[in-house]
């Protein structure tokens, strides 16, 4: 008997017991559907986190004086000495594996264009800042290192500024007044949207660091004339984050004259790692749920086995008859095995429909990120076929071992 004839026999048997077949599938349907829903949701969350990390700069290190806010590392007191242009320069020159280093200072200020006012912060940065923080120049250009050192009054503006101040018109070449001083807009930045905590990331104005320091007094105190509030360092692709962090720490300890054994009075943090750590519990929860769904699938498989055993018992006389008229043991085994696989695969496909539907509804209602991965879908269907084989094998084997005489006489 060929496989096609076996399939035919199996399908006929399933159709004859349609209601029972449907009930047997239920466990597999629920199992596959929940696997797909849960994995899609946790995958969506993960992708959202990665997108968030990318919007900050995927390989970004943040270096700040004083108490650490990243990675749970404890730093010294908040009154630690500030970081300076000299530190920026030293890190840029002496630490290998960095593709960009930038200091940052900022000042609160009011922007004026025509008759319109807009209160924002102006940030003074070095040219490396834009790639380090994942900013894309939309139109125009960034300033050069020379323009930075020269303290040119150039600004790059975010999309919110364009909306609020220029009513959406192209601002390149326009002159705006910032704190009573004229600045020329030389570039615009592509939108980043809202951060995960609801902050508008496009309400930004960037100028050369020395310009902001000179014009707004940012990062200047009586003792220190060249302070920066934060240093951003962008790790080049393929470089070890921990190695780079260690090198920066060693360098700064020497520059800041910290004795061996004493604690750092600065902190080097990886934002990506910080965010990943914060979301770790979430993704572990997703994994846990997926394991739970796998258990449901397992229970579904046991349900299939139960139904198949009942079916074999109920159809003992049928098996006896088939053996009597010429079925080989393998024919009988294949018939029940195929029935079990067909049950599970149809259940799996139904579960797929329910799962994808449920995921889409969840995304719609919950306004949450989802990601339906074709690989997961394939795995879910493959898993249900496997469940069919695994849990069908024993009942099918039992059926094939029946003796025709005893089977025919079975009441």
For the bound state, the minimum distance from the C-beta of residue 391 to other proteins, rounded and expressed in Å, comes to 25
**Which C-beta is closer to other proteins: that of 325 or that of 365?**
325
Strand partners, 187: 140, 156
Could you say which residues in the range 95-154 bind other proteins, by CB under 8 A?
none
3 lies in the binding site for other proteins (CB under 8 A): no
Spatial distance between the Cα atoms of 26 and 384, rounded to a whole number of angstroms: 12
Q: Quick one: CA dihedral 162, 167, 172, 175, positive or negative?
A: negative
Region near other proteins per CB under 8 A, out of 58-66, 106-114, 245-253, 318-326? 318-326
For the bound state, the minimum distance from the C-beta of residue 16 to other proteins, rounded and expressed in Å, comes to 5
Q: State phi, psi for 75 to the nearest 5 degrees.
A: -105, -170
Residue from 73, 121, 225, 317 touching other proteins (CB under 8 A): that is: 317
- Helices 329-366/18-56 angle, 10° precision: 50
Spatial distance between the Cα atoms of 24 and 32, rounded to a whole number of angstroms: 14
For the bound state, the minimum distance from the C-beta of residue 399 to other proteins, rounded and expressed in Å, comes to 14
Spatial distance between the Cα atoms of 305 and 127, rounded to a whole number of angstroms: 66
**Which C-beta is closer to other proteins: that of 83 or that of 402?**
402
Region near other proteins per CB under 8 A, out of 1-9, 40-48, 216-224, 250-258? 1-9
Strand partners, 116: 113
Question: Which residues, 6 or more positions from 370, have their beta carbon under 8 angstroms from its beta carbon?
Answer: 40, 41, 43, 44, 359, 360, 362, 363
For the bound state, the minimum distance from the C-beta of residue 23 to other proteins, rounded and expressed in Å, comes to 18
Residue 254's Cα: distance from chain center in Å? 37
398 lies in the binding site for other proteins (CB under 8 A): no
Cα Rg of the chain (Å, integer): 33
**Which C-beta is closer to other proteins: that of 321 or that of 385?**
321
For the bound state, the minimum distance from the C-beta of residue 375 to other proteins, rounded and expressed in Å, comes to 38
Region near other proteins per CB under 8 A, out of 9-17, 44-52, 209-217, 344-352? 9-17
Residue from 299, 379, 408, 410 touching other proteins (CB under 8 A): that is: 408
Region near other proteins per CB under 8 A, out of 5-13, 61-69, 372-380, 390-398? 5-13
For the bound state, the minimum distance from the C-beta of residue 320 to other proteins, rounded and expressed in Å, comes to 8
Q: Quick one: CA dihedral 192, 197, 198, 199, positive or negative?
A: negative
Where b means 16+ CB within 10 Å and e means fewer, 358-384 reads bbeebbeeeeebbbbeeebbebbbebb
For the bound state, the minimum distance from the C-beta of residue 315 to other proteins, rounded and expressed in Å, comes to 9
Spatial distance between the Cα atoms of 184 and 188, rounded to a whole number of angstroms: 12
For the bound state, the minimum distance from the C-beta of residue 336 to other proteins, rounded and expressed in Å, comes to 15
Is residue 186 within 8 A of residue 156, CB to CB? The reply is: yes
For the bound state, the minimum distance from the C-beta of residue 312 to other proteins, rounded and expressed in Å, comes to 15
- Binding mask 320-339 vs other proteins (x if CB under 8 A, - otherwise)? xxxxxxxxxxxx--------
**Which C-beta is closer to other proteins: that of 141 or that of 317?**
317
**Which C-beta is closer to other proteins: that of 332 or that of 344?**
332
Spatial distance between the Cα atoms of 27 and 338, rounded to a whole number of angstroms: 18
Residue from 219, 318, 351, 376 touching other proteins (CB under 8 A): that is: 318
5 lies in the binding site for other proteins (CB under 8 A): yes
Reported as type and span, the H/E element at residue 111 is strand 98-113
- Binding mask 148-187 vs other proteins (x if CB under 8 A, - otherwise)? ----------------------------------------
Residues touching other proteins: how many (CB under 8 A)? Answer: 25
Where b means 16+ CB within 10 Å and e means fewer, 107-134 reads bebebbbeeeebebebbbbbbbbbbbbb
**Which C-beta is closer to other proteins: that of 362 or that of 410?**
410
Output the furthest CA–CA distance in the chain (Å, rounded).
Answer: 106
Spatial distance between the Cα atoms of 143 and 147, rounded to a whole number of angstroms: 6
Using CB under 8 A as the criterion, which residues of the chain lie in contact with other proteins when the complex forms?
Answer: 1-2, 5, 8-9, 12, 16, 317-318, 320-331, 403-405, 408
């Amino acid at each position: 008997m060929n496989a096609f004839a076996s399939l035919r026999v199996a399908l006929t048997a399933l159709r004859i017991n349609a209601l029972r077949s449907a009930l047997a599938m239920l466990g597999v349907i629920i199992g596959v559907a929940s696997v797909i829903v849960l994995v899609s949701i946790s995958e969506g969350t993960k992708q959202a986190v990665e997108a968030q990390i990318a919007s900050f700069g995927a390989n970004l290190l943040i270096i700040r004086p004083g108490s650490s806010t990243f990675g749970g590392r404890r730093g010294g007191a908040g009154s630690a000495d500030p970081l300076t242009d000299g530190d920026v320069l030293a890190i840029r020159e002496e630490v290998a594996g960095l593709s960009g280093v930038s200091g940052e200072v900022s000042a609160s200020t009011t922007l004026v264009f025509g008759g319109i006012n807009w209160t924002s912060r102006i940030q003074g940065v070095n040219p490396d800042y834009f790639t380090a923080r994942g900013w894309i120049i939309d139109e125009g250009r960034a300033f050069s290192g020379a323009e930075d050192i020269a303290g040119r009054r150039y600004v790059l503006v975010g999309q919110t500024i364009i909306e609020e101040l220029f009513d959406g018109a192209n601002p390149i070449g326009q002159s705006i007044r910032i704190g009573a001083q004229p600045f020329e807009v030389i570039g615009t930045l592509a939108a980043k949207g809202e951060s995960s905590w609801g902050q508008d990331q496009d309400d930004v104005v960037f100028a050369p660091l020395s310009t902001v320091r000179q014009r707004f007094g940012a990062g200047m105190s009586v003792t220190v004339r060249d302070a920066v509030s934060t240093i951003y360092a962008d790790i080049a692709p393929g470089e070890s984050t921990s190695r780079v962090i260690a090198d920066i720490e060693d360098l700064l300890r020497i520059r800041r004259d910290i004795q061996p054994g004493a604690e750092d009075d600065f902190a080097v943090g990886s934002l990506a790692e910080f965010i990943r750590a914060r979301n770790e519990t979430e993704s572990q929860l997703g994994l846990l749920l997926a394991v739970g769904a796998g258990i449901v699938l397992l229970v579904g498989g046991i349900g299939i086995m139960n139904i198949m055993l009942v079916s074999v018992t109920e159809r003992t006389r049928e098996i006896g008859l088939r053996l009597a008229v010429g079925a080989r043991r393998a024919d009988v085994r294949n018939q029940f095995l195929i029935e079990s696989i067909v049950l599970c695969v149809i259940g799996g496909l139904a579960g797929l429909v329910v799962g994808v539907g449920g995921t889409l509804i969840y995304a719609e209602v919950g306004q949450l990120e989802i990601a339906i991965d074709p690989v997961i879908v394939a795995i879910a269907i493959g898993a249900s076929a496997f469940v069919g084989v695994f849990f069908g094998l024993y009942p099918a084997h039992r059926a094939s071992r029946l003796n025709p005489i005893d089977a025919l006489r079975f009441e």
